[in-house]
Structure 1
Amino acid sequence: MVDPLYDPRDAVSILRTSLMGKPLDMLKGIGTDYAACWEYLDLYYGDPRIISDAITQDITKFRGLREGEDGRFCELTHLVRRCHNILKQVGKESDLNNNHMLAIIEMKLTADDRKVYARHLQQKKEEASLQGLLSFLTEEMKARMRATAPVRNNPPQGKVNLTQQRGSAPGSYSNRSVPWKKCWGCESNDHWPDQYTVIQGLTIDARLEMAKEKHAYF
């Protein structure tokens, strides 16, 4: 039985607000037909081969890491984890879990990172594999997040006077000297965090980890 209060235009509106860029532009001429919207999107983006090509290209285009880029190391870890999860869902996990793609991912690491990974494999007496690489990346990401976290000191006794930062969002107060940015994900003023493509592609847990790594919480 159809809910008499149900309006298909609401579903289409929600779908449109969840899209951006080319996918959103594709739906401009379809109107309020929810099924037609999904059918049109599926025509272009539902083929597992197309999804796999797009996923592997995201990794290939990722610029190799440089020394000291702990933030981008976390981005690479999130990217590989996300790509793995998506390819599993479409039955194309083998497109990432092969020697060619593993070599590409490894080459994104710094020379020192590759040495650490080689020692990691040697200690565990394992051959290179996607699961092993994901485990290494995740462990390293957590270690770097802990290493770069601020040292927790006991708060001073008495009243703490917090002042608003110059250029900060209205009503936001902090005792930090870091300039306020609209998007804490890429430290840019061009957009808000929910419009940052990297954050959009992360799971809730991954977003929380990234927020902690970027010190975006109080």
Structure 2
Amino acid sequence: MKQYSGDPLYYHAFITSFNNTVMGIEDDKLKLNSLLSLCSGKALESIQYCVLKPPNEGFKSACKTLKERFGNTAVIVQAWIGKVLNRPRVDSAKLGEFADDLENCFEALSALGYVNELNNQSSLKQIVDKLPRVLQNRWQGENFRLKEKDVVPALQHVVKFVKSSAKEVNDPVFGSISNHPVEAQPMRHKRNQQVHSLNINVPSPNAPKEKFPKCWICKSDAHWPDQCEKFINMKVEDRFEMTKNNHACFSCLKIAGRNHRSSNCSRKKMCGEKLGDKTCDRFHHRLLYLTKTVGVNKLSIPSCDEPLLCVLEVEVKGKYRTLMANVMLDLGSQGTFVRSEFAQQLGVKGKSVAASITKVGGAEESFKSRNRIRDIY
């Protein structure tokens, strides 16, 4: 048997093993000496006085003292709760250890009748927050599936989820620990590593205004876009994509500069196109009317089965700390943007600038930002 040092977490396991070992022995002196030899640290110090008593009385006093000091139900419950909640966030290398602690905690609290101490939404969220970010995202899906079945997520569901994830990570062939040991190590900066800075093109207030032709489709001043035969003969989906890609106004189809957008267009009016007994009440040009549309940012775009933007979870290293971030990959963007709150958390700074961006549909927005952030890797 392993010596018992007085940890409340292992009291029941120790005392059960000890009772099974001395079962059938009638000599109290032998049982007392065996108990003393198997205790150490605080546990041994608490029962050393028992050797001064008669063997029968000394053995009973030793068992009683151990139970009062280290086997009290409230003490054990609080010890298990503290072991699970008062720990740092775990990585993939320690996920198996965390899964074992969770299972032991659940079994101990269930046996003592105190499982509800952790079986609440606040405690479950603290447990899930200890997991790697990718597993937190997966738990959101598991939580949704449980609620779809009218099942309230409980501690047993979290334990099962973490155990399953730990088995997946620790697979001897395809597990991330055996094949990718560097994942658990922090990223190191290389001197020759390329650094992508945040570049924002700020227009000069004295720069001359760009003049656009009447019809930006065929680059002609002979007619307007809605009179262009090339544009009219296109499919409506192609018209929409061309208008969006050229940042033209969705109301008048003109490219009229940074202060002109569909929301403040003086020529905007309701579409009015009819499909059956319904009339389109959206404010866009009739040539952009789509019979099957989905709404994004108050605009209408052709429906499709592919995602609009891809999202990638990456590890971002700042000057003083490293954080996890969700990165949206937009192949049509000409700049790289970082949320100001995220930059502050990383401890990076930049030069204050006034900038403007062109959004879907040609709408432009001015804002205050910072550029030349060179400390993000």
Shift of 1:5: 7.1
**Is residue 42 of structure 1 aligned with residue 62 of structure 2?**
no
Secondary structure at the counterpart of residue 81 of structure 2: helix
Counting only pairs closer than 5 Å after superposition, residues 198-217 of structure 1 correspond to structure 2 as none
Shift of 1:141: 1.6
Q: Which structure shows the bigger proportion of residues in helix conformation?
A: 1
When the two structures are superposed, what TM-score results if normalisation uses the length of structure 2?
0.35
Q: 1:109 to 1:5 in 2, by over 3 A?
A: closer
**Is residue 9 of structure 1 aligned with residue 12 of structure 2?**
no
Q: Is contact 1:48–1:92 with CA below 8 Å preserved after alignment?
A: no
Shift of 1:42: 1.6
Deviations 1:99-121 (A, max 9, x none): 22212211111111100111223
Secondary structure at the counterpart of residue 48 of structure 2: coil
2:50 to 30, 42, 47: 30
Q: Is contact 2:36–2:48 with CA below 8 Å preserved after alignment?
A: no
Cα distance in structure 1, aligned partners of 2:74 and 2:145: 37
When the two structures are superposed, what TM-score results if normalisation uses the length of structure 1?
0.58
Partner of 1:200: none
**Is residue 73 of structure 1 aligned with residue 95 of structure 2?**
yes
Q: 1:19 to 1:78 in 2, by over 3 A?
A: farther
Deviations 1:69-89 (A, max 9, x none): 33x101111111111111122
Cα distance in structure 2, aligned partners of 1:116 and 1:92: 28
Secondary structure at the counterpart of residue 27 of structure 1: helix
- Aligned amino acid, residue 145 of structure 1: N
Q: Is contact 2:99–2:162 with CA below 8 Å preserved after alignment?
A: yes
Cα distance in structure 2, aligned partners of 1:56 and 1:74: 18
Q: Is contact 1:63–1:108 with CA below 8 Å preserved after alignment?
A: yes
1:57 to 82, 93, 102: 82
Unpaired runs of at least 5, structure 1? 152-218
Cα distance in structure 2, aligned partners of 1:80 and 1:18: 27
Cα distance in structure 1, aligned partners of 2:76 and 2:165: 28
Q: 1:127 to 1:10 in 2, by over 3 A?
A: same
Bigger-Rg structure (1/2): 2
Partner of 1:96: 118
Q: 1:11 to 1:5 in 2, by over 3 A?
A: closer
Q: Is contact 2:25–2:31 with CA below 8 Å preserved after alignment?
A: no
Q: Is contact 1:84–1:93 with CA below 8 Å preserved after alignment?
A: yes
Q: How large is the RMSD of aligned CA atoms in angstroms?
A: 2.7
Cα distance in structure 2, aligned partners of 1:5 and 1:120: 52
Counting only pairs closer than 5 Å after superposition, residues 119-130 of structure 1 correspond to structure 2 as 119-124=141-146, 125=148, 126-130=151-155
Cα distance in structure 2, aligned partners of 1:78 and 1:121: 21
Q: 1:14 to 1:82 in 2, by over 3 A?
A: farther
* Higher RCO (CA 8 Å, separation ≥ 6 residues): 1
Shift of 1:18: 4.2
Deviates more, 1:140-149 or 1:105-114: 140-149
Cα distance in structure 2, aligned partners of 1:60 and 1:4: 41
Shift of 1:9: 2.9
Shift of 1:17: 4.5
Secondary structure at the counterpart of residue 14 of structure 1: helix
Secondary structure at the counterpart of residue 63 of structure 1: coil
